[in-house]
Chains A and B, each alone.
Chain A
């Protein structure tokens, strides 16, 4: 399987934060959910991938090309939605179309206006008159309208109501239909990712905690909710992390089948990405 994006040993140090040895691959035709709490390094990683930050160690390859050496060629094939970074609010979608058709080789006027219609965005109104959700839709429409091969989206569904989120998610699913296009999508709304992501990469405090297929993660990982007495029966090597609450213990299991074989009376619940994040970040070892 060819990779659309490869991140190798990415390292970036700030005074108060550090990205440590980030490694992951995004195969062609796949959607990767990039998850982690606020300030964990998601946006910094995305900025490094896009060369928005330039002073970093390591290597990033997109479409097999080194991102530093082939910046222009790569950018022509990438659609981007970033948190709080876009056109001035005094411009209209018409202005954006007028500008973007000279930015990208494959900018598609027709596609842009079709999407505007689909999302009921008025092409003549300034962006400042749009709601937060409408702005986000416009950003997504702009990212999609030059036939990119990779979408890099930082919180693209933030501010969207459930109906709009469903529309946007459908759009993303259609985008990867030809199996040539891929999406790297960071989001706090992990339920969306459970529906569409093929891979999940979880970053915490500047380090990749795991990068696996979504199925592998949701099938192999599990959560045991039990009493203190039951918890004390578990060997330390049989669980990843645990969390004490007032009435019970929540225990994160990495291999559900293996755990079930050893502790056959234990009740193992299916895990959600929220549970996983919470236990990985807040849990004790």
Chain B
């Protein structure tokens, strides 16, 4: 693994959405002029108001969207390449699963899609269920699970193949305080194991506790890049710095 290659790299990246309706084309900006390098092993937070471009940034990193301009690379590779995607885990905001499967079946399905060999798959499924505390729910149908439990399963599917880079879009959205603390502990353990975490969240205090650096997006542009030192030395912490930037 070449540590010199960034886990995620955006160089002058822009994404404009085109939507056509009744013969008219409407353009809207997702991100613009995004220059950002995220180092391997780093826990990086993305903050921004709704519509600021956080999800667009993640989708560009995963090859779900193509940039209108600029260049994106994921682990030094084109983001849509199978070689890059096999080393990336993704937890979308409010993950959706096939309701007819159980958590265990879902993890087997996603593990196989990630290229895990059948011999190691069973062990990885058990480990992932253990990590997120879902071992006792492994054979219930997903349709019967609570939102917090589904979110835990979301994290389990993101780490089932032991990826180097884990992208989490609003991982604690809608969770109760106890679940949030559990989630933070799980993410901290992953970070301690050297995984690169890229997290977007509206929960500033969570990013403050977990991240080494935080980027603030405003209207699709990276308005500010902050280090732990910046928010620890600021009287109002990260929250005041965020409000000051987006106002």
Our verdict on whether A and B bind, yes or no, reads no
**Chain B residues within CB distance 8 Å of chain A:** none
